[in-house]
Structure 1
Amino acid sequence: MSSMLIPGLNQLVEPEIVRVEKFEALLAEIKSDTVAYVAARDPEKAARIAETLENDSELLSLLLQAVTLRVQTHERAYNAKIKQMLAWWAEGSNLDARLADMGLERRVISEGDPDAFPPVPPERESDDDARIRYYLAPHAPAAGSRLQYRREGMTLGERAAVTVTAPVAGQVVVTYTFGSDGYAAQVKDANGRQTAPGEVMVTVLGRDGDGVPSGALLEAVRAHFARPDVRPETDLVSVQAAQVQGYKIRAVVTIRNGPDSGLTKAAAEKACQAYADERHVLEGYIDPSRISHELFAIGAERVQMLEPLQPLECTAFQAPYCTGVEIEVKTL
């Protein structure tokens, strides 16, 4: 796993192609090009321009500084477009296009209600979840690997059942049958771990509530891994629900006089809940120091953690779930 890049497990440095040249170096380059352009036509004027550009307060110097800023802005906008062509950073419809490269499409978590007023749009799979499935897709042929088990668990029912028949001599019929269930959208995370030689336990974390999957979802997972084209012949596969480890986030945040404490409280609770949602996965790890970091980021001067006081580290069969966020805001 250490050599594989998987979102959420690794960080990837931006490629050199999206680097924006520093202002001073770019300004010097533009000044040099300007002088060279004029010198090719009128060396005397070029000498006067070069002398003018040595003074940063001159109108021409200010003009070239403005041009430099405009070039940097253009580079940033162009680089943003480049990053949207790379699956690691692509978002929205740009990520949808990358998913299509692997024969994948974004799941619909909830159909919404077009007849409601106002209409309720469908809820679709998040960019983060879709990106993980994109990077797991190439590992599908690696039968019996951890990545293969995770991929199968997270793409439940989306693989067609293939049957080959020869009804008459000289004729071969290949049939692809796709399931009509929507269970794949109910799976938030899944994995497979060997519990004994030839025995594998598949653990499933659901999207709803605390993540404990319904009985119907577990049966769907069992049926999926019972397929001969999914389960390796050498493995005896069992399926279980994730063991949810509940915890609370409680802290006292001290801020300086000025900002409205109600707004700070809302921002703090939102930041903590976002962190908790991000870590609601199998083998999730809850770090009190990371929670403190989130609180300092929203403007806290002091943070007193009340819960959790110790890190919560879950096994491959467990997932942490935040049962509540309580932030008290005080002023200096």
Structure 2
Amino acid sequence: MRFIAADLSRLPPPDAIEALDYEQVLAAMKADVRARWDALRVLRPELPELDILELETDPIVIILEVAADRETKLRGLVNDKARAVMLALATGADLDHLGAAVLTQRLELTPATSSAPAVMEADEPYRRRIHLALDAWSTAGAQGAYEYWALSSDPSVKDAAALNVAPGRVDVVLLGRTGDGTASDAAIVAVYEALSPKTRRPLTDDVRVRSATIVPQAMRVRLDIPRGPDPDVVEMRARANLAALASTIHAIGRVLRTDAIIVAARVGDVEKVTVLEPAADLDPGAFGAVHVSAIEIEVVQPGQAIPA
């Protein structure tokens, strides 16, 4: 079975992150002012009743609104600071600092040139490697450690899976970032060399590194929509969603499911989604990855002939 790290996206919202509500803050401030005024009137009965807190044009109310707005923003800043130290929520430079704590730097995918800055590893794959980093501190006998070093040794590696195929035999399967995902020979060599030192794997493990088996598959759907919506707009939105799905399932062992295609293609006024290809869920197997080779969309409105 492939090692699966905890899914950070499924963690419940942290208690440290407060839900912000400006109106609630303002109401609490008004209640505080009203309570303080009432307490003061007990000592000084000649003071009038405070009855202007619902008048939006009163200077006291405006001052309270300013204070409530600033307090809400300050609480939001506290939320941001809390997110910055949580692996599931940190982004950008904050995530880099979390990576530094476990000796894991963001990968440089493309070096800088005289006319363009370097292209760096995106947050999500970097977050995954940070999550796997603790496993990497042991020898690579743990699946997470094999995958960490495979993902960290060559920037062209998009995904990696370590699979125990026989006693003492470990296959490390790679998926590339470009084209259909076939890992390059250079990447395979780099990963093998990274896993070979005695400090990286048990001597009893026979490690093989190879590319994932690429399973090409087109997505073809028919969208039935009512009269009125612009078919071109519907197609554009559905295509964007299907492209995002194709990117998501382009990973080792991920199944392309027809119900996921239906969910992705059902946009706006779409009344019915018919999946023409694939005819059924496509499982590439533990060593494979689905590459969506094409996305074809037919939009049908009432009175229009349905293509064969």
Q: 2:122 aligns with which of 123, 126, 141?
A: 126
Residue 33 (str. 1) matches residue 57 (str. 2): no
Matches within 5 A, 1:59-138: 71-72=71-72, 74-114=74-114, 119-138=115-134
| Alignment correspondent of 1:222 | 192
Matches within 5 A, 1:199-218: 199-218=169-188
1:149 aligns with 2:119: no
Distance in 1 (CA, whole Å) between partners of 2:57 and 2:289 is 62
**C-alpha displacement of 1:35:** 0.5
Task: Tell me which moved more, 299-308 or 144-153.
Answer: 299-308
Q: Residue 24 of structure 1: CA displacement?
A: 6.8
The range that moved more, 288-297 or 57-66, is 57-66
- Deviation of 1:134 after TM superposition, in Å, equals 0.5
Deviation readout 1:209-258 (Å, 9 max, x if unpaired): 11111223222323333322222112111122101112122222344555
Describe the shift of the 1:122–1:232 C-alpha distance in structure 2 as closer, same or farther (beyond 3 A). Answer: same
Match of 2:263 in 1: 293
Structure 1 residues 255 and 243: CA distance shift in structure 2, 3 A? same
Q: Aligned pair count? A: 296
Give the distance between the partners of 2:265 and 2:204, measured in 1 at CA: 49
Query: What 5-or-longer segments of structure 1 have no aligned partner?
Result: 157-183
Partner SS for 1:313? coil
Which residue in 2 is equivalent to 1:169?
none
Deviates more, 1:233-242 or 1:311-320: 311-320
C-alpha separation in 1, matches of 2:29 and 2:47: 14
For the pair 1:323 / 2:279, whether they are aligned, the reply is no
Residue 227 and residue 46 in structure 1: after superposition, are their counterparts in 2 closer, same or farther (change >3 A)?
farther
Match in the other structure for 1:180: none
Percent identity among equivalent residues?
A: 27
Q: Distance in 1 between matches of 2:10 and 2:299?
A: 33
d(CA) in 2 for partners of 1:107, 1:283: 24
CA distance in 1, matches of 2:228, 2:117: 39
Contact 1:187-1:206 at 8 Å conserved across structures: yes
Q: How do 1:32-51 residues align onto structure 2 when only pairs under 5 Å count?
A: 32-42=31-41, 48-49=49-50
Change in 2 beyond 3 A, CA 1:194/1:66: same
Alpha-carbon shift at residue 310 of structure 1 (Å): 2.1
**Cα gap change, 1:23/1:273 in structure 2, threshold over 3 Å: closer, same or farther?**
same
The 2-side partners of 1:256 and 1:96 are apart by: 49
**Cα–Cα, structure 1 residues 298 and 86, in superposed 2: closer, same or farther, change >3 Å?**
farther
Give the deviation of 1:204 after TM superposition. Answer: 1.3
Question: Which range moved further: 126-135 or 266-275?
Answer: 266-275
Aligned residue for 1:253, secondary structure, equals strand
Query: Could you tell me the TM-score, scaled by structure 1's length?
Result: 0.76
Q: Deviations over 1:88-107 (max 9, x none)?
A: 11122221222122222211
Scaled by the length of structure 2, the TM-score of the pair is 0.82
Alpha carbons of structure 1 residues 298 and 134: separation in structure 2 relative to 1, 3 Å: farther
* Native 8 Å contact 1:39 1:46 kept in 2: no
Q: What SS does the corresponding residue of 2:49 show, helix, strand or coil?
A: helix
Per-residue CA distance 1:77-130 (angstroms, 9 max, x = gap): 54234323322111222212221222222111112532xxxx333221111110
